[in-house]
Structure 1
Amino acid sequence: MPANELHIDFIESALETLQIEQQALKILSQQIDQRFVDACEIILKCKGRVVVTGMGKSGHIGRKMAATLASTGTPSFFMHPGEAGHGDLGMLVRGDVLIAISNSGKSDEIMMLMPLIKHLDVPLITISADDTGPMPQNANVALTLGKAQEACPLGLAPTSSTTATLALGDALAVALLEARGFTADDFARSHPAGALGKRLLLHVTHLMHTGDELPTVSANTPLNKALYEMTNKRLGMTTIVDEDHKLLGIFTDGDLRRLLDHEQQLSLDVPVSEVMTKNPFTINANARAVSALDSLKEKKINQFVVVDDQDKVVGVISMHDLISAGV
């Protein structure tokens, strides 16, 4: 019979599901005790990798758990317990830590591996609803979720239990991240691709115009020659520097338009230093590209002069450069 003929209130069903799963997380929070500390300490001492395993829905959660651990400073991967019994157990070696997930704590596929796990002397951390099953009974640390109602009205489909397991995995990853002093730069190194990697990895030095692309004139350069430098370098501006290449000011297309608006007879022989903008905004080459973009937007300007610690000009970066790079 179609769902609409059963007069199901979909919103009510959704809210009830969320309430049941929220309750599961409350129950889980009551299970966080010294065992959680022990599990974190075992993983921190691990010289190898954290291997996560689980069957069915637990396996899906395990894959996500391993991925989150790996991306936050804890080398980790997922091992399918069924495939492990047919050769993939070679992934697990002495020095690793095994996290085994089974809500019942009785997974046959994982229990079949127990003799070799013990032979390798690999520390075992289990995640299950309670500690009565054979898996937690064989564990070095048995983490439990607590007895919570599944959101599935049949009580069959893993719902609340998988949500709680996922949250517990995240809690482990975050606690370990904080214990390792994991930084945004560390995170960037494991996320080099895509927009996230660009935002975290790219610095001003990677995108700025330098060398022959950098428009630069001296203070006594006539305005007409400064305009030629601007046109030749195609950045809509030029830097003005002293004999040590330290920044004195800039002259931009905007400065030229303002001069034309206010000067009846503009002399192109005037030294550019007399019409330049002094004390322009600058940025360091080591600044993150995303910080440069945010600052440009905040200050409502189109480019930064890039200087080193001695205030010497080393480059120019524009908003166009940053946007084109996908920052």
Structure 2
Amino acid sequence: MIYLSLVFFQVVAPILIMLGIGATMQLKFKLNLKALSNLITYCLMPAAVFINIYETKVNAGVLGQIISYLLVFSVCLMLLGSIVSKLLKLNRNQAAIYKNSIVLINSGNYGIPVSQLLFSANPLGTSIQIIIVIFQNIITYTYGLYNLISSTKSGLDILRSLLRLPIVHALILGALMNILDIGIPTFLRIPLDYLANAFISIALITLGAQLAQLDIKTIINKVILTSTIGRLVLGPILAFGLILLMGLDGVVAQSLFIASAFPTSRNSSTLALEYDVEPNMAAQIVLFSTVVSCITVTVVIYLSNILWG
């Protein structure tokens, strides 16, 4: 219990404080969230991704294990979302939101800061989270979009959306420079470090500001409750089983297990709003799962240290 409280106060509580600062700033000053989002997407996150990939050695065997795990894990979540949405007898729009809420995980401006705090002494942990971010973006702009607008979005449009993501370019460049052992001049490395170090604080403040402006009008219903249970409870249980089945261990197992407990991605709410598919329900799910994750992520981090620490 003592260690569990340490995990909360050393990892989760700092995140909550940053979210609170972001929410307060939004309520008081009405921050330009579009500008902040662009700053993160096109500047800070690519810098953080580049530096972490550049400094980390991930052998082909480990990379293959991670990708194999992510594929199986995601397919299982898709099946879970489809089955439960049918059991709940949801209409088409509600089912789309529900399935996205289970599969799309906030591995970017929630997951990476958590990983950087947890694995500050071991860059491999953060690099695995970055791989998960890339994978989640692919899932978002394929499966997530298909659920919402399967009849209006072509495969070519989806591919273009992916290729425009700066983190993809940063990942490729960082990996190439890592493999080829290309040095970074000091006059470039210093600003890159500044940008990468700024990512955690700006990302969490922005997330807090986004949560503060979500439109919450109804009480918690069966869709919100079951999606939160699916994302925060069943997700880690499924991940634990797959990790044991695939024989993963150490930092790899820890990183993947912890990543399975992150809340529903804000992108699920953004897409729902953009295409007008139950946007209020999607926003409520994001907010509720983020709040509850403060408890579940603490427990999962605690268990990961016991199992593979």
TM range, smaller chain: under 0.3
1 or 2, which has the higher helix percentage? 2
1 or 2, which has the higher strand percentage? 1
Larger Rg: 1
Higher relative contact order (Cα pairs below 8 Å, separated by 6+ residues)? 2
Q: What TM-score, normalized by structure 1, do the two folds share?
A: 0.20
Q: What TM-score, normalized by structure 2, do the two folds share?
A: 0.20
